[in-house]
């Protein structure tokens, strides 16, 4: 992981990840399903926000969900138990020190993790080695450069840029979505296909206004206020004005757009 996990592990961030996952279920997961009897490794499961959806959608598959944060694993276990899941095993481990043998899994799933890694290609190559030949990997990432909105606001763009800079400083990349294809190819995957998934929000979709613009994206930017100011990236007044302008896009005439990228690839079969 990059030295500092930019979003942190506090309860408000856990809630944000949950809101994000809930709002984006169809957009991100409608075409992800695993056959009964197959084994799936979820790398960087966090507090289990995607795990619950994945495991419910593929009840016959067996999931192993891992994360480097013991606290997140504990929360993920709690969430899975609450959802009554019986097809998920959680493990506290680092992607770079996986306790599994090569070719142990039929499928791998990674969501919103590469953006935090200093070595995303190496991580993907490790995950590739854990896949059986012909197995699939699914990678989902955002790209903060894809955020645009009405009314446009230089202050809001400056606040978003703070997140990009902080993530870069911590060794990650908040613009990683656009890079998925070359990263997956470099890590050795075959048949890579990346599809952009745009979230378009206007006031005719109050669920997205609240679940995505307000509680996912703007909440994420609000969450870095103190860190951005402490790092002298921005003055408090400018940051607050930017956040206020992001909230302005949730009004009746406001619009917000953001694009996620979903990449699917295969592990090469032996010649």
Ligand X SMILES: C[S@@+](CC[C@H](N)C(=O)[O-])C[C@H]1O[C@@H](n2cnc3c(N)ncnc32)[C@H](O)[C@@H]1O
Distance CA 271, CA 268 (A): 9
Residues with Cβ within 8 Å of residue 268, at least 6 apart in sequence? 133, 188, 189, 190
Please, what is the minimum distance in Å from the beta carbon of residue 7 to ligand X? 6
Q: Which residues pair with 88 in a beta bridge?
A: 63
Q: Binder to ligand X among 80, 85, 111, 155 (CB under 6 A)?
A: 111
What is the helix (H) or strand (E) element at residue 139, kind and residue range? strand 131-141
Tokens 């966090």, residue? 46
69 belongs to the binding site for ligand X (CB under 6 A): yes
Distance CA 261, CA 16 (A): 19
Nearer to ligand X, 69 or 161 (CB): 69
Q: Binder to ligand X among 67, 106, 141, 222 (CB under 6 A)?
A: 67
Distance CA 18, CA 44 (A): 14
The angle formed by the CA atoms of residues 81, 84 and 89, to the nearest 5 degrees, is 55
Residue of minimal Cβ distance to ligand X: 46
Please, what is the minimum distance in Å from the beta carbon of residue 269 to ligand X? 27
Please report, as residue ranges, which positions from 22 to 61 form the binding site for ligand X (by CB under 6 A): 44-46, 49-50
Largest CA distance in the chain: 61
Q: How many helices (H) and strands (E) does the chain have?
A: 11, 8
Polymer length in residues for the chain: 271
For ligand X (CB under 6 A), the number of binding residues is: 22
Q: Pattern of binders to ligand X over 71-110, x per CB under 6 A?
A: -x---------------------xxx--------------
Q: Binder to ligand X among 29, 77, 116, 262 (CB under 6 A)?
A: 116
Please, what is the minimum distance in Å from the beta carbon of residue 134 to ligand X? 24
Q: Which stretch binds ligand X (CB under 6 A): 64-72, 175-183, 224-232, 251-259?
A: 64-72
Binding residues for ligand X (CB under 6 A)? 1, 5, 7, 17, 21, 44-46, 49-50, 67-69, 72, 94-96, 111-113, 116-117
């Amino acid at each position: 992981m990059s030295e500092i996990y930019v979003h942190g592990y506090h309860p408000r961030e856990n809630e944000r990840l949950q809101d994000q996952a809930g709002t984006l279920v169809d957009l991100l997961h409608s075409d992800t399903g695993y056959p009964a009897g197959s084994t799936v490794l979820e790398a960087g499961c966090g507090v289990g926000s995607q795990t619950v959806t994945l495991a419910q959608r593929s009840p016959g598959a067996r999931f192993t969900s891992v994360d480097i944060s013991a606290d997140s694993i504990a929360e993920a276990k709690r969430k899975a138990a609450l959802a009554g899941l019986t097809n998920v095993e959680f493990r506290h481990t680092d992607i770079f020190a996986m306790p599994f043998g090569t070719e142990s899994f039929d499928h791998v799933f990674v969501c919103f993790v590469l953006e935090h890694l200093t070595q995303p290609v190496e991580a993907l190559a490790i995950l590739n080695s854990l896949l059986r030949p012909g197995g699939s990997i699914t990678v989902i990432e955002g790209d903060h450069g894809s955020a645009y909105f009405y009314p446009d606001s230089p202050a809001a763009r400056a606040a978003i840029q703070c997140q990009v800079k902080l993530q870069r400083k911590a060794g990650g990349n908040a613009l990683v979505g656009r890079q998925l294809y070359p990263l997956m190819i470099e890590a050795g995957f075959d048949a890579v296909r990346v599809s952009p998934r745009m979230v378009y929000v206007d006031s005719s979709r109050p669920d997205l206004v609240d679940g995505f613009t307000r509680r996912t994206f703007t909440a994420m930017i609000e969450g870095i206020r103190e860190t951005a100011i402490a790092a002298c990236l921005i003055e408090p007044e400018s940051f607050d004005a930017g956040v206020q302008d992001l909230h302005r896009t949730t009004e009746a005439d406001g619009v917000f757009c953001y694009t996620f990228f979903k990449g699917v690839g295969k592990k090469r079969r032996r010649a």
